Structures are given as C-alpha cells and as structure tokens.
Amino acid sequence: MKFDGSICLAGFLCLVSIQASAQTPIVDASAPTTGPISGYMDFHFNKGEAEDGVLDFHRFVLIVNHSFSPRIRFVAELELEHAFVEGLEERGELELEQAYVDFLLTRSFNVRAGMLLVPMGIINERHEPPVYMGVERPFVDTFIIPTTWFENGAGVFGEVGRGFRYRAYVMAPLNALEFSADEGIRNGRQKGSRSDVRNVAYAGRAEYVAVPGLTLGASAWSGKSSFLAPRLDVKVRVGEADVRYRRNRLELRGEFAQVWIDDAERLNLTVGQLTGVQPNIARTLRGFYAEGAYRVWQRGAGKDVVGFARYENFDTQFRMPSGYIPLKEFDRDAWIAGAAYYPDPDIAVKVDYVWQRNKSSVIIAPNGLNIGIGWWF
Amino acid sequence: MRFTTSMAIVLALLMTGANAGSQTQRRVVRVSAERFAFTPSQIVVDAGEEIEMRVSSDDTAHGFRITGTSVNVVIPKRGRGEVSVTFRAPEPGRYVFECTRMCGAGHHFMRGELLVRNPSASQSRK
C-alpha cells in the first residue's frame, strides 16, 4: 500500500511539473542587445559615364535612445553625410534627422514631439541600407519626395483595429523661395534649423499592414510655404501612395507621388527678382516607380543574394505655370538593375547600373555604375 | 504484482492524458516581425489559455516583449530560425507587445496588442 501511495505521489508530481513548465514563460535576458547606440553606414563607389569614379562615405549615422520610463522614450538620429563638413552642402552635412520624445499612451493613441521624419512614402521613414534595393535611394524618393525629409513638429500616431496604422503631425513648412527646376521642393526643407512657423504644415500617413507580406500606404502633406514672401500664397501639397508585397522569394514595390505648388507663376517672378535668376519652378511635379526583386540564393546567413530591377519616371517640370516652358532635361526616367549580397542580414553589399534618359535633345542624362556596402548595427 | 502493474498502466495513461491534454489546449500563434511592424499586430486569446508564440524576423534581430508579463526575448535575424515563447494568457485585458531592440527609424511603431478575453464571456457570445 505504501508502494502504491508513492506511485500516486510520483504521478501527481509529474502532472504538477508538466503544468508548471507550461505556465512558465521563456525569458531570454542573456540575449545580445544593441545597447544605447545603434545606427547605419553607407559607403559608395559611383562612376558616371565619362566621369571619374568617386569613393564616398555617404552616410555615417548614429542612433541613440533612452527610456525615461516604459511610456516615455527618447530617440535621436545624428547623420554625417559625405564624411566631411566644411560649411557648404557640397562637401558634407551634419544633420539632426530625428530627435523626439514619445509618450506611449495606448496602442491607438500616442504623442510624439521634436525633430520628426515626415511620414511620406516608402523610404523616408524606412531608409536603413539593407532594406532597400540599389546603392542609392530611388530617384522618386529624392527629387519628388525630398528624402530624407525631417522637420520640427509634434503629432500623434497609433494603430487601430487589425493593422490600420496612422501618423498625423503638425510641422514647420517648406521654404518656397528655395524651390528649383531640377530638384523641385528639395532645397525648401528648413531641416529644423530655426524653422519659420509663421504658417504650419500638416502631414499624415495611413498604412494597412494586416496581411502578411503586404503593406499599403498613402501619405499627404500640406502647408503654406511662402513665409519669407507673405504677399505670395504658395500653398504646397504632396500626395503619395505606395505598396510593398513580399511572398516567398519575391518582393514587389510601387510608389506614386505628386507635388502641387499654388501661385507658382508669382513665385517664379519673386525668386527671379530676388536672385536675378529665373528658377522655372513648376506648378506640378510627378514621379512613380515599380520594382521587382527576387532572392536568387537563399541558403541562410552568408548565402543570401537578391537580384532586382526598377523602373522610375520622375519629372520636376511636369506642369508649368502659364507663360513658362518646361525644361525637358528634367523630364527623366531610369532603369536600375543590380544585386545585393548579404553576408549577414544587417550587411548589404550592393552593385547596380543605372540607365537614365531625359526628354532633352541637347543635354544627355548620364548612365552610371554604383557599388556600395551598407550596414546596420 | 498484478496490482502494481495495473497502477503503472494507470499512471502511464494519466501522464499520457496530461501530455495530450496540454498539447490540445496549447494554441500556437505565429508572429512575423519586420521593420517596423508585427504581423499579426493584434492577437486575441482567452484568459488562462496556454499560448505558444513562434516569432520570426524577416530582416534584423528584433526584441519581443509583452508588457505585464515576463515574456521578453530576442527574435533572431532572418534565416536564423525563430524564437518560441510558451506562456499562459494572463487576466483579461489589453497587453501591448513591442520590439525592445532598436531596429531603425520607426522602432517605436513596432507595437502590437494581445487582447485577453474572459473565456466565459467569449463562450456566452458564441
């Protein structure tokens, strides 16, 4: 009887131990972490047709973060572009691309304030080198959406339901007096440096991420941008839609973006009077691209190669104000084809070739070879 | 001897039954992580339900923590497998899960929700 009792006790203990192991969550506190500093780097070789090759340490980015509490957190991103700063943008830039405090309240409603990335397009908020194809960022995300677009502001973000995400910010506007024919609104970014907020801009983005592998996004930006010339009424609007889809080895991306500039005729006159140079600013800019990528070698770490091709069409002179003729060399399109090898998922060794064309019969858009290595840590 | 044998069989059946019971009750939820989202980002379970979460990454290493619980693990990088977390769903309520490892500009967007329901209430709805 004593023997039988011990068997029963052993059985009971077995059951308890099974139950206990099922209730105990796995805690892996010893796993490696990035620590308070992380970041990414971009090192490039660019060789345009009939030009000398250039070696450029394009981006050196450090990201720091700190949690004041589980609900109040700080993130900053400091970027050195082109390795050397001499006071002029042509040599290099030191930029505070992000520096904000998040107040994490609920899943559906959180508050953010500081230096913010404008929630616009695929690349502006998601620009770590291993996550996009090609050595350089897409042309549309450079000439139509002025990536990296960052500005002082505050706003809210969150996710509602099953996979509907949003961001809505109030930010400092663009400076329309710096717009140009070739780079559109890019030079109008105030970059958070004593930004003039006589007027403010509103930026928002909605995303749907509930379906595995699929991200649908749409973004909008609107702001009166003529604070240095108050008699003008240069309201600028940017609209954008994008899609990313990944299934097995295949990844597809597409993006469309358009910029509308009100009162562009008087803006051209004013800039011409101030600078003595006719800027030929368009009233509408437009760009789009489609990209397909395929993981041709997928055998785990160190055996990982993706090939891709992308077509881009971008025109910073798409619609002109009355009396202005578009400069055809800025109506451009490009094919980019290349590959990325990942010795580690956080390191991308990239090579691509760019075939560029424009509508000008005089000025030829140069083709180019790009080789780069980018890494996240 | 015969009694002892029969007790051993009963014990074995009990253990097998207990194992089978825990396996049938355990619910496996697969979660995919990628800059800057978890998919699915909302998971609905019943309080007391045994959950096994298998979390994998499509890019870099991410963290995975469920606030209000002791679940806190690192998700290995793409191609390096998945992390499995087994736990019993806590009291009814909303629990945020989030990435705890800085993964890029949108790191703080990487949050989801574990919605724990009262099982009796969810049965009455059925």
CB contact B88 to A (< 8 Å): yes
Q: Which of A107, A127, A131 sits opposite B96 (nearest CB)?
A: A107
Question: How much is the mean pLDDT over chain B?
Answer: 83
Binary contact (B77, A344; C-beta < 8 A): yes
Asked if the C-beta of B99 comes within 8 angstroms of chain A's C-beta atoms, the answer is no
pLDDT digits (tens, 9 = 90+) for A107-121: 899 999 999 999 999
Which of A125-129, A298-302, A329-333 has the lowest average pLDDT?
A298-302
Q: What is the mean pLDDT of residues B78-90?
A: 93
> Out of A24, A126, A165, whose CB is closest to B105?
A126
Contact B77 A346 (CB under 8 A): yes
Q: Which residues contact B93 (CB under 8 A, 6 or more apart)?
A: B68, B116
A33-37, A189-193, B118-122: least confident range: A33-37
What domains are defined for chain A?
A: 34-376 (2.40.160.10)
pLDDT at A32: 46
Token pair 């980019």: residue: A336
| High-pLDDT (> 70) share of chain A, % | 89
In this complex, the residue of B15, B57, B60 whose CB is nearest that of residue A376 is B60
Question: pLDDT tens across A211-227, in order?
Answer: 999 999 999 999 999 88
Written as one string, the DSSP assignment of B12-73 is HHHHHHHHHHHHHH-EEEEEEEETTEEESSEEEEETT-EEEEEEEESSS-EEEEETTSS-EE
Find the range with the poorest average confidence among A78-92, A135-149, A200-214, B107-121: A78-92
Model-level pTM? 0.85
A323 vs B17, higher pLDDT? A323
CA A353 to chain centre: 22
Comparing A166-175, A348-357, B116-125, which segment has the lowest mean pLDDT?
A: B116-125
* CA distance, residue B81 to nearest chain A CA (Å): 10
CB of B47 less than 8 A from some CB of A: no
Cα angle: B87, vertex B89, B94; to 5 degrees: 130
B32 to chain A, closest Cα gap in Å: 8
Question: Taking 80 as the threshold, does the pLDDT of residue B16 lie above it?
Answer: no
Out of A246-250, A298-302, B119-123, which region has the weakest mean confidence (pLDDT)?
B119-123
Residue A97, CB-side half-sphere exposure with 13 Å CA sphere: 25
Interface test with B, best of A4, A23, A26, A77 (most B CBs within 10 A): A26
Quick one: average pLDDT of A18-32? 39
* pLDDT, mean of residues A326-348: 97
Q: What is the mean pLDDT of residues A119-133?
A: 96
Query: Taking CB atoms and an 8 Å cut-off, how many pairs form between chains A and B?
Result: 154
- pLDDT given at position A300: 78
Residue A25 to residue B71, Cβ atoms within 8 A = yes
Choice between A42 and B68, residue whose per-residue pLDDT is larger: A42
The closest CB to that of B79, out of A15, A38, A304, belongs to A304
pLDDT in the model for residue B24:
54
Contacting residues of A for B30, CB less than 8 Å apart: none
The answer to whether residues A36 and A64 touch, using CB atoms and an 8 Å cutoff, is: yes
Q: What confidence score (pLDDT) does residue B50 get? A: 94
| Contact at CB, A345 and B78, closer than 8 angstroms | yes
- Tell me the domains of chain B and their CATH numbers: 27-125 (2.60.40.420)
Q: Which residue of B has its CA nearest to A98?
A: B105
Of the residues B39, B94, B114, the best mutation for testing chain A's interface (the one with the most A CB atoms within 10 Å of its CB) is B39
Distance CA B41, CA B53 (A): 13
- Out of A77-86, A187-196, A210-219, B8-17, pick the least confident: B8-17
- Whether B8 contacts chain A with CB within 8 A: yes
Contact B32 A212 (CB under 8 A): yes
Arithmetic mean of pLDDT over chain A: 90
- Yes or no, beta carbons of B77 and A301 under 8 Å apart: yes
Mean pLDDT across the stretch A282-297? 97
B124 to chain A nearest CA, in Å? 23
Instruction: Using an 8 Å CB-CB cutoff, list chain B residues near A3.
Output: 4
The Cα of A240 is separated from the nearest Cα of chain B by a number of Å equal to 19
